[in-house]
Structure 1
Amino acid sequence: MDTQQNTALTRALAEVPGPLPTSGVIHITFPHADRFTVVGNHLAQHPDLSCTAVGIAVRIQSLPQGAKVGVKALAAHCKEGEKRIAAALRELEAHGYLRRVRDRLPSGRIITRTVFCNRPAALLHPRRPAEAAPHPAKPEPTREPAPAPVPMQEPAPVPVRIPMATPPAPEVPVAPPAPQPTQPQVSLPVPPSPAPLFVPRVPPPTAPKAPRRPLPQPSDLTPELDRAATAFLSDLHRHASQFFLSEDDVRRLVPGVAAWLERAARPDTIRRALTDDPRHPLKHPAKLLAHRLTELLPPAPPGVDDLAALDRARPRVTVTPFQTCDDCDRAFRSPTPGHCRDCRETRAAYAQAAAA
């Protein structure tokens, strides 16, 4: 059995067109004659859908109209649990492949219909109106049968005449042909294009992506900033082993780190912002550093004029100073020196008693 299997595989590989790749997958493709489903690469290679969601979508496409595609119905035929199937259905609904719509029947009952679209991007473009029915072809006129051929006789010899130069005949004006009455063209009504069943709320996978923001640049890349940024990036792998950078990556990221240092950011603060909670495993540390250097760039520190304007805008609070009473040496708040409240009341009482 092993020899037969190896021989069959060798024969199938020999029939693959073109040279075989040295690495990667090799496809042996046989055409399907029955029981197959056409799946687009936009679904099979969707960058944002999980493999479970892609498999559930293919399973739903292979089912006939009216088949049950609820969580429990799919879980009865799949090895995945209900939670994974429900999460996959939510992914398909978020990307426009699946839609649950509520409909009212003529009897008044409200039902929920599950609609699956194998190509959601096609719903974003208006459909072309149905082509008008072609006009009936006019019957061709019947042709009379050709007469029977008559036997030909040898023609008699005709004398050859040499043409003589003759004056040109006078031109006779030809009257233009009389206009024939034209039948008015009747335009057939174009049926309105049917409204799409549903429109996904997310952009299609082929939507153009926004351009990436450039790496921040310092106002003046001085030699001191260049040395400090180079030393920071070269020493980064000692604090986070995943961020081991090449020399080209260091030279490319130096302006971004210099922009952070120019904005009075401390090295430990920059290191914590760039290396906090990375992916595991981290395949492209330089790309992650460039993204965080761009998106987490702190604002420029305020200048002297900005701080002065902030001080002027701050509300002023008048503080009453402390004074010492001349009689009892008690401290009290007053804009001018003098006596405290108790001493003033005692003096007023003595003055009233002396006046009485």
Structure 2
Amino acid sequence: MDTQQNTALTRALAEVPGPLPARGVIHIVIPHTDRFTVVGNHLAQHPGLSTAAVSFAVRIQSLPQGTEIGVKALAARFPEGEKLIAAALRELEAIGYLQRARTRLPDGRIVTRTVFCNQPAALLWPRKTAPHQPATPQAPAPAPTPQPGPALPPQPQPVPEPEPTLQPVQVLAAAPQPVHVPAAAPEPEAPLATPPPCAPAPPPQQSAAPLFVPLVPTPTAPKPPPRPLPQPRELTPELHRAATALLADLRRHTPEFTLSEYDLQQLAPAVAAWLEREARPDAIRHALTNDPPHPLRHPAKLLRHRLTALLPPPLPGAHDLTVHVRRVTITPFQTCDGCERAFRSSTPGRCRDCRTDHEQAAA
């Protein structure tokens, strides 16, 4: 039988806008109308969360309010085991999507409330309701300005000329009059009255918009000074010559470590400190040139760092390697000359009882 063709899929691919990619995933986006949950890419593509943690975050986010999301409750609802669920919840709690807080109820009981936030990074941002609160009382303030109050004074001006007593009646009759002649006058006045209150309103909102708390604060504290190069206890001419020769010989083994004469003079005391601690030249060469970064732009800075950070300790002396054993003196047994009993003493003689009896008899 031939392979069945999915005509619906072919029709959907034909409706995808733009040219289709030659490789990779092709998205067919059909808008949801009911039973859907919005999940941000910060969660779906989080590099620090496992696939199990992301899946349980989506499942928890899709559950209705008040649903139990403990380990036992999720294990009863989904096929995963309790260990996997507990590990996923710990990952979500470490990132900030899940939080557990112990609260005391009015009746005195202490319960644990589990809170899930679909975007924990937004909790660090300033709330948008605070900057807009002063804008709400300003909205009714410009309302009285476009009010027809200033437009009405030109209407009663022609009214008192024919009859001052018919003013209330002519107020009603004057309504159609501004439609023909004075209608053009209030139209330019209305836009002139409305812009002044609206123009100053945006500046305070724009000034409050930059109030953003960055997730990663910029480093403002000064960096600590670099560690000084190690110095030998006594820089003898022979030690300085051997250190300079070792540094100059590095380019023969690794061409990237070609140093200038100034760099040789600056780094030679540090190499002399290594040689003074009885480090072998081949060991020093391997420690300084092993696995350099590519490309190596500043070989002298790399050597300075490695000479300082990888400085070996001095070799211990012979007395440092000896183990001091605590000697325990054992008192030998002696036979009492009086009662023939055994007792511990460094010299032969009588036991304590015989010595006491002998002293009493002599007294």
TM-score, normalised with respect to structure 2: 0.45
Q: Which has the higher helix share?
A: 2
Q: Tell me which of the two structures has the higher relative contact order, counting C-alpha pairs closer than 8 angstroms and 6 or more residues apart.
A: 1
The TM-score with structure 1 as length reference comes to 0.46
